[in-house]
Structure 1
Amino acid sequence: MPKHRTAGQYTLTKSQKFSMAGVAALGAAALAVSIVPGNASEASQAATAEISTSPAAFTVNKDVQASVTAQQVAAAKDADAAAKKAKAEADAKAKAEAEAKAKQEREEKEAASRAAARKPVYANNLDGWIRQALDIMKKEGIPGTYNGIYKNVMRESSGNPNAINNWDINAQNGVPSIGLLQIIKPTFDAYHVDGTEHNQYNPVANIVAASNYAADRYGSIDNVNSAY
């Protein structure tokens, strides 16, 4: 009969140790199998979540960037269009102003040419002097005719604008009669017409001043038939 041994006194045989080691190994393997699938599932879910969310974030960022870029492009186009419009308006205004100025200058030049064409050219002789004097007298409202002036000129100076009387009473008083119509200086000064030369020897100024005096005293140079 084998001897009774306590638990502390019990000794496992070699075969028993191998058996127990095998059982322990099998249990550990089972435990590992039962734990790993759970952990693996959680890791897989985390990876899946990361994979599923990362592309979405990338897509959102890409869309925002594309929207901003599109807005910038649109703004640049609008600014360019506004600049082109402003330039076109400025060019059109400058062109219109240049055309208006050119037109005004052209019209002024044409008006001057017409005025020059209408301006009479008087001969530098008795006929021309009388005709020029008559045009001035007409503007000033001084009466007189070509024949009335001509007859008095021929009687007074024979048509010599430099004629001077050095022997009559006027000459003796120091104011000789001068020019085509033999007018003395005080009378010439009093009846001189602006726009003509202030010179007794100037034929046109002499005729106009003498005719103005004759109109005031006799009504017209036409009414003068002798010394006046």
Structure 2
Amino acid sequence: MPAKGKHRRPKSRALSRGLVVAGTGGAALVLPVIATTAASAQTAPQSTPAAKTSAAAPALAKKAGTTYSVVAGDSLSKIADQLNVSGGWKKLYKDNRKVVGDDPRLIHPGLKLTIGKKAKAAPASDRADRADRSKRTTTLAPAKSAPAAKPKKTYSNDLDGWIKESLDVMAKHGIPGSYDGIHRNIMRESSGNPLAINNWDSNAAAGTPSKGLLQVIDPTFFAYHVPGTSMDSYDPVANITAACNYAADKYGSIDNVNGAY
């Protein structure tokens, strides 16, 4: 029966030290014997954490001179963090200043950044475009300031101007009335004379004559005077607005007045 073959590798023995006596022609020379085993391989220093970190870094960050194309939502800080750029966004900006320009915030999709190596200057057309965008940003900034005050509205010093100014005052105070309604009553009451006065009717006999464009007696004028207008009952605008305020209270609007009121 043939001898059985050996199918198992002999176990490696641990590192052992011994002494061997070698003959040297009568004298004995003692030599240390060191047996190298697999155990000695296990004592080899492991790779350093720095090496592991370097292996885990993104491929783009490891290779100097790699080009990165900016996408929407990118910033130099975000790119530097993603690619583990040594020195952060400041180093990234320093290396790519010729491409980015003077403002590190003005990066846009499609811009090519070089990682780990200074980039070449951007084409003149690209630099001009960035400069133009920078100017537009500077120019648009003042638009946030408050708008200039509108110039004060002016009115002609005649019947047309007095009625229009009165209508604007009435609108601020919610007093109804129209240009035609006011004009019709003025022409009936005073023919457009702001200094007209009635010295012959019962009001005049009672000591309170009707005055002004809409022939208002003083008690009515002061009772229905509209703030912001003159206290003089002969003043055209004050007279019109007080009369319209009274007519709105009694008749709903000066437009509803078609005779003595």
TM-score normalised by the chain length of structure 2: 0.44
Alignment match of 1:213 (pick from 246, 249, 252): 246
Count residues with an aligned counterpart: 119
AA at the equivalent of 1:210: A
Establish whether residue 159 from structure 1 lines up as the match of residue 192 from structure 2. yes
Structure 1 position 203, deviation (Å):
0.1
The correspondence for 1:200, drawn from 220, 227, 233, is: 233
Give a deviation string over 1:38-74, Cα, whole Å, max 9, x none.
xxxxxxxxxxxxxxxxxxxxxxxxxxxxxxxxxxxxx
In structure 2, the residue matched to 1:175 is 208
Bigger CA radius of gyration:
1
CA–CA distance in structure 1, aligned partners of residues 236 and 212 of structure 2: 7
- Cα distance in 2 between the residues matched to 1:129 and 1:165: 21
| Equivalent of residue 184 in structure 1, options 206, 217, 227 | 217
- Amino acid in structure 2 at the alignment position of 1:170: N
- 1: distance between equivalents of 2:245 and 2:209? 19
**Displacement, 1:120?**
1.6
Structure 2, unpaired ranges of 5+: 1-141
Q: Which one has the bigger strand percentage?
A: 2
Q: Take 1:142 and 1:130, find their aligned partners in 2: how far apart are those partners?
A: 13
1:123 alignment partner in structure 2: 156
More helix by share: 1
- Please name the residue that 1:138 is paired with: 171
Counterpart CA distance in 2 for 1:197 and 1:159 is: 19
Partner of 2:6: none
SS at match of 1:161: coil
Following TM superposition, by how much is the alpha carbon of 1:222 offset from its aligned partner in structure 2, in angstroms? 0.2
Shift of 1:181: 0.1
SS across alignment from 1:195: coil
RMSD: 1.7
Deviation, structure 1 residue 153: 0.3
TM-superposed deviation, 1:140: 0.3
Q: Identity rate of aligned residues, in percent?
A: 65
Runs (4+) off by over 4 Å: none
Deviations 1:128-154 (A, max 9, x none): 000000000011000000000000000
